[in-house]
Each structure stands twice: as structure tokens, then as C-alpha cells.
């Protein structure tokens, strides 16, 4: 049996790894609670139970949004492979490298990378666009559904009738609001909830595609792609094409 020499490289720092796993857990919590809320009528969930589910969904969303915000900052100030220039498909030679990578796949000897391969960069871009969209629309909906920050106070003031303290409004109780203002608020909310639901299902599909892509890349490249997000290290059998200068 031929002995293959492995070279170990430090790739993902602790901040990137923490972001990844917090993101995994929070997205799973959001997908789970979101699916139950979406199918609430079929499941017979209403009243206080529905409000509780929305609260769990929103608190999971806060963790998700804060974690995502931290990762966005790290894209500008983090380590080499945490930065946007290393993970997004916008470098000057990206298309050339994508072609070279696809040819290497067809030849059975895939080029090896410390960071994401060119196809992985496309998936990273898609995932971040979907995640950012969900974070923004979700924060708007937290205010319209539960009067939660960051827009909850403004929404409560919008729908509270004269003489009623906006802080006294109770989520799910329409008897305490001004009917006309409530209808206006719900019209404002409509495009956000539509986009949130649509992107929810696209994200669900993207997550499945992402996991499949990671497994396939691990089997083809055998670079410790999965374990690297735990240890931070990749073990390659040949020199990487994206070695930092």
C-alpha cells in the first residue's frame, strides 16, 4: 500500500468555529419551531401555545442574528480565511480557478484548498444572503407579532388606541388595539412575512445541499473538511492552491 504524506495546516480559528456551530444549532431551532408555527392550524396549535412557540422562535432568532452579526464583522477584521476575500466568489481570478477546479474533478484528482473550493464559495454566498434576509425580516416580524425589539416599541405605539399605554399591549390580543392602525400594520407586515416564509423553504433546501456538498467534498478531496470545523486543522495530501502569501 502506498504511503501518503499528510501536511497539517491551521485554517479555521476559534471564532469561525464557534460561529459555525452556534449557527448550526440556532438555525436548527429556527427551522424546527418555524415548521411547527407554519403548520400550526393543521397541528391544532393556537392561543398561548402559539405565542409560546413564537417567543421560542424569536429568542432563537436573536441568538442567530447576534452570531451572524459577529461573523459579518469578522469578515472584515478576522483571520485570513475568515475574511470575505477568502470565502466569497469575487476574487479577480475566481472564474479561472473555478474552471481549473472543475477540470480537476473530471480528471479524478481534485485540487486541494485550505479554505473553500470554488463551488463552496458559491454556496457560502448563497447561504449568507439567505441568512441575512432571514435575520432582517425576522427582526421586523418579532415586532409585528410580539412587540419585541428592535421595532416592537414603534409597532406598539402605532397600533395602540388613544389613552392606552403601548407597553400594556399583549401579543395576540387584538381587542386592545386600534382596528384601523392594526390593519395598516398588518399590510406593512405582509411583504416581510411573505419573504420570510419563501426564504425559509429556500434555506431549508440550501442547508440540505450544503450538507450533501460537504460530504461529497470530504469523500473526493479527503482533506479533513468536516473535522477542520472542529479542530481548525486541515490535513492535505498535496500543496494547497490557496496558500496565503
What digits encode the pLDDT tens for the residues 33-57? 999 999 999 999 988 899 999 999 9
Model pTM? 0.92
- For 41, the grid coordinates are 392550524
**Res 1: pLDDT:** 42
Half-sphere CA count of 108, side-chain side, radius 13 A: 0
Q: Decide if pLDDT at 129 tops 70.
A: yes
Separate counts of helices (H) and strands (E) for the chain:
9, 2
CA gap 160, 146 in Å, rounded: 14
Q: Decide if pLDDT at 2 tops 70.
A: no
The sign of the dihedral angle between the CA atoms of 148, 152, 156, 159 is negative
Arch. (CATH architecture) of 7-235: Up-down Bundle (1.20)
Amino acid at each position: 500500500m502506498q504511503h501518503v504524506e499528510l501536511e497539517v495546516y491551521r485554517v479555521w480559528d476559534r471564532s469561525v468555529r464557534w460561529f459555525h456551530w452556534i449557527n448550526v444549532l440556532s438555525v436548527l431551532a429556527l427551522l424546527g419551531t418555524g415548521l411547527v408555527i407554519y403548520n400550526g392550524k393543521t397541528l391544532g396549535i393556537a392561543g398561548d401555545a402559539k405565542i409560546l412557540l413564537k417567543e421560542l422562535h424569536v429568542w432563537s432568532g436573536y441568538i442567530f442574528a447576534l452570531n451572524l452579526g459577529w461573523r459579518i464583522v469578522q469578515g472584515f477584521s478576522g483571520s485570513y480565511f475568515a475574511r470575505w476575500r477568502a470565502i466569497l466568489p469575487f476574487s479577480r481570478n475566481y472564474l479561472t480557478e473555478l474552471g481549473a477546479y472543475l477540470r480537476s474533478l473530471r480528471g479524478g484528482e481534485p485540487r486541494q484548498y485550505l479554505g473553500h473550493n470554488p463551488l463552496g464559495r458559491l454556496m457560502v454566498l448563497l447561504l449568507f444572503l439567505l441568512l441575512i434576509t432571514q435575520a432582517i425580516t425576522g427582526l421586523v416580524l418579532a415586532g409585528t407579532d410580539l412587540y419585541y425589539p428592535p421595532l416592537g416599541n414603534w409597532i406598539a405605539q402605532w397600533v395602540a388606541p388613544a389613552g392606552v399605554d403601548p407597553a400594556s399591549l399583549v401579543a395576540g390580543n387584538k381587542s386592545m388595539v386600534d382596528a384601523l392602525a392594526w390593519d395598516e400594520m398588518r399590510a406593512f407586515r405582509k411583504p416581510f412575512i411573505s419573504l420570510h416564509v419563501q426564504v425559509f423553504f429556500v434555506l431549508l433546501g440550501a442547508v440540505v445541499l450544503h450538507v450533501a456538498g460537504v460530504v461529497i467534498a470530504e469523500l473526493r478531496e479527503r482533506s479533513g473538511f468536516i473535522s477542520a470545523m472542529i479542530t481548525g486543522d486541515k490535513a492535505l495530501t498535496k500543496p494547497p492552491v490557496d496558500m496565503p502569501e
